[in-house]
Chain A
């Protein structure tokens, strides 16, 4: 079972697709949650998810905007997608009937 931050990270990476890398994932998490995302938490969680086989990372191209430094690109694996879906379903199931349940 994923942790909350792991779920946020995987969801952001899936939404960003081909553009998923450190800075963009961080921005996505901060924009959607309104919470600050530290670089330390982001990178250590990326390592953990990669060790679990839920994501793959590799070094991408360097851009001038980044001072000529490479990006750490992220792709969610099939197992990562399954874990994300399982977490989402678990949250939906456990939230049924509670006052803050989102009414679709």
Chain B
């Protein structure tokens, strides 16, 4: 019974190893006695060494403390604020929709202006989440599973924190509706933060160091313009942007450097 448990655990742990190494290691253990507590200890030791190896260079630690924690908290905060502000706009127009109002030029102008603002804020949030995931995977490489799970753990509370609503808020009528108070935040947080950041991680991991200049520049320009268009009235918000734009700056600089190196050689 004990031997069977050890064998099952050793098989399970060995799944994290490279397939060839897994084959060789389990074969070596089978040859030298098979399932036992020692075999389990051996596999555990090998897996622990392999998992610890990517954490030797400083980059995964840097990614954990400079990306996962601040960006996770930042994305959660922006996601809640974006949901709050877009809820009011969506309620104002979708909740009081009347086709006849489209005949009014001023109404159409306002609809286009505020609709564009909502879309831009969603685009900015998704781009931030994507670049965060991309950079995290790019810096972490071998430690991407641990850092990816850590980012998801930091982001997950955003699903349940709710809208940042102050007492006596003039928009409180909007949030008396269950959809805006309870449902919209999880939808936005999942679609514009969790999914793009995981997508960015996948791409960052698969892309290795090869990130095209055109793609990096496009993303920088789109996100930059969207954010500036949205928040140009708040200086502190712009300052905050500069602080949180370094992943995009990093990607662009790296892409330019690679392009220059390629053209020089």
By CB atoms of chain A within 10 A, which of B21, B28, B30, B53 has the most? Answer: B28
Chain B 11-55 interface 0/1 with A at a Cβ cutoff of 8 Å (1 = within): 000000000110111111111100000000111011111100100
A80 to chain B, nearest CB (A): 20
Taking a contact as CB atoms under 8 Å apart, the answer to whether B49 and A40 are in contact is yes
In the complex, A23 Cα to B27 Cα: how many Å? 8
B17 to chain A, nearest CB (A): 9
Taking a contact as CB atoms under 8 Å apart, the answer to whether B21 and A23 are in contact is no
B137 to chain A, nearest CB (A): 23
Q: What's the tally of chain A residues with a CB closer than 8 Å to chain B?
A: 21
For chain B, which range describes its interface: under 10, 10 to 19, 20 to 34, or 35 or more residues?
20 to 34
A69 near B: Cβ within 8 Å?
Answer: yes
Taking a contact as CB atoms under 8 Å apart, the answer to whether A38 and B45 are in contact is yes
* One of B27, B42, B45, B53 near A69 (C-beta < 8 A): B27
Taking a contact as CB atoms under 8 Å apart, the answer to whether A43 and B25 are in contact is yes
Whether A70 contacts B23 in the complex (CB less than 8 A), given A26-B32, A43-B46, comes out as yes
A62 near B: Cβ within 8 Å?
Answer: yes
Which of chain A's residues has its CB closest to B39's CB? A39
Taking a contact as CB atoms under 8 Å apart, the answer to whether B42 and A70 are in contact is no
A39 to chain B, nearest CB (A): 4
A66 near B: Cβ within 8 Å?
Answer: yes
Taking a contact as CB atoms under 8 Å apart, the answer to whether A40 and B46 are in contact is yes
**Which residues of A approach B to under 8 Å, CB–CB?**
21-23, 26-27, 38-41, 43-44, 59, 62-63, 65-67, 69-72
A-B interface, 7 closest residue pairs, ranked by CB to CB distance from nearest: A69-B27, A40-B45, A66-B27, A39-B42, A72-B24, A23-B28, A40-B46
